[in-house]
A and B are shown apart, each in its own frame.
Chain A
């Protein structure tokens, strides 16, 4: 679980990037050291060979040939103690002295360098040694090869490469760890903020994040976030207060108008007058219903409606039972999984579901209606499906907006607030509302988080 979150999080990316950057820096630095060191060692070795070759060339000029050949032969004896190889050839390419026989095969110009391997027998084992050698023209067609064993140079390079490889591995691991550690610190703060934001979105507006007291950037962020929360809380409180006072005021006015109209209706003697006041009363009632619908939506949207544990299965069963007699016999099919408990507002949930059933009965016009509720990955999935004309895809978004009614439904009773209330109630419950084609008909799915399970 923690690993999954880690892999998905920005910490993982941060840690990885950190590790890669550290490793790259390490490779660059150590690679540079390796390159320079190898160059110095190679140059020093080459200089030794060049000096020896130069010395021997001078010997050749100073001594007679026999003495020189003997001297080379002496040097060539017991070569592996000194690690030197020699090969002297005469003008016709004839071998005069030396401990290796390579010159005929080497396509090296005099003054040039050659590298080759020489097999050495030590006891029973056949070992191969890497040799770097210089070929010099001695004059009179004589050629001399002077070489040194550079096996140790290669071994040194190998050790160095291994060390560098290990250093890189360790650095990557260290980089990943330090990246993870740094990231976790930030992520912890981010998660704390995110969790709080979630709870706040669910209505706990009074909540604040704890400061660590370190005064660092994260503390500053937390403090700003708390300021933001205070602002949101005060705005919400103000909005609720405005809503309440507006509602209070409008209802008061409406109540006085209704009182006056009802009084007029009772005292009316003229039938025309009575009919007129009757019409006024009906309009006032319609206005009252609309006002109440809007206020319910506003209540749900303000997020200040008190939530409690609600048995959604029971609410759905009761409503199905309530609407059963209105439906045709066999029209209503109910399949509700028991024990679906959500954190919610019972009255608003019931009203939302009632609106869906009202719609299904009204627009379904006798077609089969299916009410289902089941558990689905930490969600209570409540579905109401009818076999009516449905809502064309392009109007589905519009259908949940206030006072929006679909073309062709003007003949049917309705305020245009039914689905907006459902949408508002869905938001209050952090639920997902989906309208889709039941082919034929409309399928409305409300997915509400079950209690005790936080998704993700």
Chain B
């Protein structure tokens, strides 16, 4: 992926750029709001990482201006402000995702993947398919190898979330935010238990396992593992 990173904290920017390059991404850096907006307008990127508070031009202002010109590039806002209410502001301004500092590189990378993928696949709704697992979002129906699987409303939402991010790593935080809209960290391993319940429902009795744990990062739903 080609990523524009607009971050005024040079050292943080360097660490992040280095980490993302090691993951195979192409990173271009800008260190203030003006430079960031100019680069975003002239260059072509798969995804933008914007710090919330930037010198000369505020991160949210860049988002608004880009959206005003009709740009649909996925934008992830990084912020050192409390994310509960700031997050809503960031998303209202036109941001696609919001991550608070200090972040884990794995978390950020997973979110970037999700953003870029969503951009490519936007418009494909209705039936989701992975191997012989099928989810019909309209009929709220899940089958595996043609056999109907009964899920609770929440399990269905969780599976739909995982299937929309099939082949990518989703973190526990992403699941908490995406499925439950919770922006805090439950101290117990609640997400793991929900995942293992879902795994029981969709993978038990099948030779090919679809729902996998990615150590130190999260989970992934994929047929090639």
Contact = CB atoms under 8 A, between A and B. Distances in A.
A254 B102 contact: yes
Contact of A263 (B18, B80, B85, B103): B18
B182 to A, nearest CB: 6
A259 B15 contact: yes
Interface string B159-199: 00000000000000000000010111111111001100100
A251 B184 contact: no
Given A263-B15, A350-B184, A413-B187, A254 B101 contact: yes
Contacts of B85: 299, 305-306
A405 B197 CA distance: 33
A418 B184 CA distance: 12
A205 B148 CA distance: 56
Interface in A243-266: 244, 247-249, 251-252, 254-260, 262-263, 266
Contact of B102 (A255, A306, A345): A255
Given A251-B100, A289-B185, 18 more contacts: A247-B81, A248-B81, A255-B9, A255-B80, A255-B102, A256-B9, A256-B12, A257-B102, A258-B103, A260-B11, A263-B19, A266-B22, A322-B182, A325-B193, A348-B84, A358-B186, A413-B187, A414-B187
Interface in B81-103: 81-82, 84-85, 100-103
Contacts of A306: 85
A409 interface: no
Interface in B108-164: 154
A326 B22 CA distance: 37
Interface in B175-225: 180, 182-190, 193-194, 197
Nearest to A299: B82
Nearest to A250: B80
15 contacts: A247-B82, A255-B9, A255-B102, A258-B103, A258-B104, A259-B11, A259-B15, A259-B105, A266-B22, A292-B100, A296-B84, A296-B184, A322-B182, A347-B183, A361-B188
Majority DSSP secondary structure for residues of A touching B:
helix
Nearest to A254: B102
B190 A256 contact: no
B76 interface: no
Contacts of A151: none
A301 B120 CA distance: 43
Interface of A: 244, 247-249, 251-252, 254-260, 262-263, 266, 284, 288-289, 292, 295-296, 299, 305-306, 318, 321-323, 325-326, 345, 347-348, 350-351, 354, 358, 361-362, 413-414, 418
B106 to A, nearest CB: 9
A288 B22 contact: no
Contacts of A322: 154, 180, 182, 186, 190, 194
A445 B187 CA distance: 21
Contacts of A358: 186-188
Contact of A251 (B19, B102, B193): B102
Contacts of B19: 259, 262-263, 266
A296 to B, nearest CB: 7
Nearest to B196: A325
B80 A259 contact: no
Contacts of B100: 251, 292
Interface of B: 9, 11-12, 14-16, 18-19, 22, 53, 80-82, 84-85, 100-105, 154, 180, 182-190, 193-194, 197
B176 to A, nearest CB: 9
Contacts of B197: 325
Contacts of A295: 82
A252 to B, nearest CB: 5
Nearest to A257: B102
A255 B193 contact: no
Nearest to A298: B82
Contacts of B183: 347
Contacts of A318: 180
A62 B185 CA distance: 126
Given A248-B53, A288-B102, A259 B190 contact: no
B193 A354 contact: no
A284 B102 contact: yes
Contact of A326 (B14, B103, B105, B188): B188
Contact of B15 (A252, A254, A256, A296): A256
A348 B82 CA distance: 12
Contact of A347 (B53, B184, B187): B184
Nearest to B9: A252
Given A322-B180, A347-B183, A252 B101 contact: yes
B190 A323 contact: yes
A263 B184 CA distance: 26
A452 to B, nearest CB: 25
A136 B110 CA distance: 128
Contacts of A299: 82, 84-85
A225 to B, nearest CB: 29
Task: Report, nearest first, the 10 A-B pairs whose CB atoms are least far apart.
Answer: A259-B15, A251-B80, A255-B101, A255-B102, A351-B184, A248-B80, A254-B102, A251-B101, A258-B102, A325-B193
